[in-house]
Amino acid sequence: MLRDSHLKALLMLACVGSLTTACEMKKNLDDMHKSTVEMNETTKRMEEKTGELDKKSESLDNKTAELYDALRQGNAALLRKEFLQQLNESKEMAKKLSLGVKYFWAYEFQLWSMQGLDNDHRREELASSAAREFIREIHEYAPTEDFISPTSDDNRDMNFLALVTTLHEVNDKQKNRVDPKGIEHMSMLSLIERALKQKADLDAGRISLNDLKASSYDLLAFESKLIQILQARQNFILTMLVAKASNIDKGLKNKVKLGLLGMKWTLDLSKYNDVEVNEMTRYLKAVLDTRKILKDAGHAIEVDDTIQKVLMNGQIAKAKKQADVRAAAEGQIITYIQQVRSAAVVTK
């Protein structure tokens, strides 16, 4: 009997222990479930908060982009106005050319950043805005389409010549942003060239009016002004080159001798350093490139009569001793000069 009592007691303790263990396990499972539910709820709240934060961040980015765009527009417009005012007040051509560079650098498409609102569409919008402004501003300096002499000392003519000569300028900020991406530079000259090419496609029926870029449409509304601009550009750049090479700019005596009397002169390349030779090459290339745009658009090349005479009367003397690089540079100048001289032109 005693043994049975002990056995019952042990069984009772075992049952109680099992029940206790079971209760503790249930409690632990319940606690784990509760913690899991609470964690899920916490995670959900965190996701909601993160989503709200993302929306606020996106909203802030949009507002910042809008603010930058508005500030850029206002500041750039003020700078262009200031540069044109200084252009009008300046008397020296070198200063006017410097201001022309700054003027074109201050157009918004030059400051396109590829960030915020600055997508490809926005770049074309900025180009269109610039084209509309420029083609109307230039009318102040050349209200008619008459030939403008590259040697004119009229202030309005000089302003016009300074601006058409610096059409190609590209802001360093644009270069630094687009060059790593392999995106082409955009300048007022490139916009004019594109407009005339699209005009040729339009005339040939290859595109429709709706296919024109917005800037092309704005520029082609004044096609005759575009031609006048390009004629004046190639003519004045050629004049700068001839003036430097022949010393025609040193006084009236030289102008009479070289121009009216048709005296021979020599471009002695040995008198110019490598930088000067390189600059002459750039001038000549700019003349040839501009003339190509005109010819592709179906227009004859117009050149000042005196400048053409001086150009044709020039001779070239190479440096006697020269390294291979220098020889190549001088050879390039000679090739370009021959191309310029052999071109069919109309003198004015």
> How does pLDDT run across 278-297, given as a tens digit for each residue?
999 999 999 999 999 999 99
pLDDT for 100 beyond 70: yes
Closest to 238 in 3D by CA, of 317, 327, 342, 310: 310
pLDDT above 60 (res 62):
yes
How far apart CA 107 and CA 226 sit, in angstroms, is 19
pLDDT at residue 262, rounded to an integer: 72
Tell me: pLDDT of 25 over 80. no
Q: What value does the mean pLDDT take over residues 285-314? A: 94
Please state, in angstroms and rounded to a whole number, the distance separating the CA atoms of residues 205 and 201. Answer: 6
What value does the mean pLDDT take over residues 218-239?
97
At residue 66, does pLDDT exceed 70?
Answer: no
Task: Determine how many CB atoms are found less than 10 A away from the CB of residue 246.
Answer: 23
Taking residues 214-226, report their average pLDDT: 97
- pLDDT score of 105 more than 60: yes
- Average pLDDT of the residues in 36-53: 60
- Give φ, ψ of 265 to 5 degrees: -145, 165
Token readout for 233 is: 């550009």
Q: What CA dihedral angle connects 206, 211, 216 and 219, to 10 degrees?
A: 90
Higher-pLDDT residue of 320 and 116 is 116
Task: Give the model's pLDDT for residue 10.
Answer: 55
**Planar angle of CA 105, 110, 116, nearest 5 degrees:** 140
Whether the Cβ atoms of residue 289 and residue 221 lie closer than 8 Å to each other: no
The tens digit of pLDDT for each residue in 263-280 reads 788 888 888 899 999 999
Tokens 């440096």 -> residue: 319
Is pLDDT at 12 greater than 70 in this prediction? no
Residue 61 has pLDDT above 80, yes or no: no
Q: What tens digit of pLDDT does each residue of 158-179 get?
A: 999 999 999 999 999 999 999 9
Report whether pLDDT(150) > 70.
Answer: yes
pLDDT bin (cut points 50, 70, 90) of residue 316 is confident
What confidence tens digit (pLDDT) does each residue in 182-196 have? Answer: 999 999 999 999 999
CB 96 within 8 A of CB 158: yes
* Cβ atoms of 118 and 99 closer than 8 Å: no
pLDDT in the model for residue 247:
72
pLDDT score at 323? 77
> Torsions phi, psi of 50, nearest 5?
-65, -40
What distance in Å separates the CA atoms of residue 2 and residue 283, rounded to the nearest whole number? 125
CA dihedral 88, 219, 221, 163 (to 10 degrees): 20
Percent of the chain with pLDDT over 70: 76
Residue 223, pLDDT > 60, answer yes
Can you say how many angstroms the Cα of residue 291 is from the centroid of all Cα atoms in its chain?
21
Better-scored residue on pLDDT, 303 or 39: 303
Q: Are 192 and 108 in contact (CB under 8 A)?
A: no
Residue 189, classified by CB atoms within 10 Å of its CB into exposed (0-12), middle (13-18) or buried (19+), is buried
Percent of the chain scoring above 90 in pLDDT? 61
Q: Is pLDDT above 80 for 253?
A: no
Quick one: tokens of 4?
Answer: 């049975």
Structure tokens at 160: 């016009």
Q: How much is the pLDDT for 73?
A: 87
Mean pLDDT of all residues in the chain? 85
Which one is predicted more confidently, 72 or 1? 72
Who wins on pLDDT, 325 or 174?
Answer: 174
What is the pLDDT at residue 181? Answer: 94
Alpha-carbon span 233 to 101, nearest angstrom: 14
What per-residue confidence (pLDDT) applies to 29? 57
